[in-house]
Amino acid sequence: MSTDPQHTPAPQHSPVPTPRTESGTTHRDVVSFVRRGERLSQGHQRAWDRLSPRYVLDPPRGRRDTLPAEGVRLDVEEEFGRRAELVVEVGSGLGDNILAAALAHPERDHLAVEVYLPGLAQTLSKVDRAGRPENLRLLPLDAQRALPAMLPEGSISQLWVFFADPWPKARHHKRRLINPPFLDAVLPLLADGGAFRLATDWAGYAHHMRRQLDPRPELALLHPEGPAPEGGSSDPIPENMERTGWAPRFEGRVKTGFEKKGRAAGRLIWDLAYTRVPRRPVPDGDSGLEAPAEP
């Protein structure tokens, strides 16, 4: 990682005051996550102490401990010691998916983005038991704000968001991850032809994601004729839910506790997959996007 030499970062764990506006009122960014208690068990603390220097990226922080300092960049080739495709999972939880992917695809590099410290520590415990693969790193920052600041455009070959918090109450919908601010931040990072894969066990959130993602000119459905999952669901399915455009279950996705809980509660699993429409030179008055090719 490189930093702006003119910036003196705040210590990682120092308290950072909540910023205030010119009027003196407190300003809070809308985020899609809640910072929960971060006490670690003895075993997870030992895993953190042993492996975090090797696996957890620790850039200088900005005004909050989930934000990178201004000018921080991530040199992926330097970090992994090679040039390879980069898979990024946002909200990696306990690390099951990204670790399984790193083990199954040693030819790729993998970045887990997660703000929940116990989840990162559990990921490190699993990394230890799995033989410590070299093609995995963890980033404990807010993905929406960190990734576009730290990575160059077109550098991600696959972007995964599995079972993000659905924030089911209407007044909380602005906190949902799949909303314009997140998409505006991360879609430029997808390489031409790159895959954006998502899954949820909440029908209302699945419908919300389709309404946000389908109109994006940067994206095209990978399975435009794919049927909706079959069966009944314990949560209400919107009457105008899309009947096609759903992806089959992604074989690279491990069945985590989130998916198991959703199924146990009687909910369906909704998979989505998009491809990044190839860019082209931008003449005056043009969008710079190719028309989606027929699958």
pLDDT in tens, 97-106: 999 999 999 9
The residue length of the chain stands at: 295
Full-model pTM: 0.84
Alpha-carbon gap, residue 170 to 175, rounded angstroms: 10
Burial of 133 (0-12, 13-18, 19+ CB in 10 A): middle
Q: Which residues are 190's β-sheet partners?
A: 156
* SS3 state of residue 197: strand
Task: For the chain, list the domains and their CATH numbers.
Answer: 61-276 (3.40.50.150)
pLDDT at 284: 59
pLDDT, position 258: 84
CB distance 263 to 269 below 8 Å: yes
Kindly give the parts of the chain with pLDDT less than 50: 2-27, 32-34, 293-295
Known binding-site positions: 89, 114, 142, 165, 169, 201, 256-259
Q: Which helix (H) or strand (E) holds 128?
A: helix 117-129
Alpha-carbon radius of gyration of the chain? 20
Binding-site residue ranges for S-adenosyl-L-methionine:
89, 114, 142, 165
C-alpha to C-alpha distances, 102 to 27, 69, 127, 128, 193, nearest whole angstrom: 39, 28, 10, 13, 21
Q: Which of 165, 184, 192, 214 is catalytic?
A: 165
Catalytic site residue 165? yes
Annotated binding site for substrate: 169, 201, 256-259
Q: Give 283-293 pLDDT, tens digit per residue.
A: 655 555 655 54
Angle at 24 between CA 23 and CA 28, to 5 degrees: 100
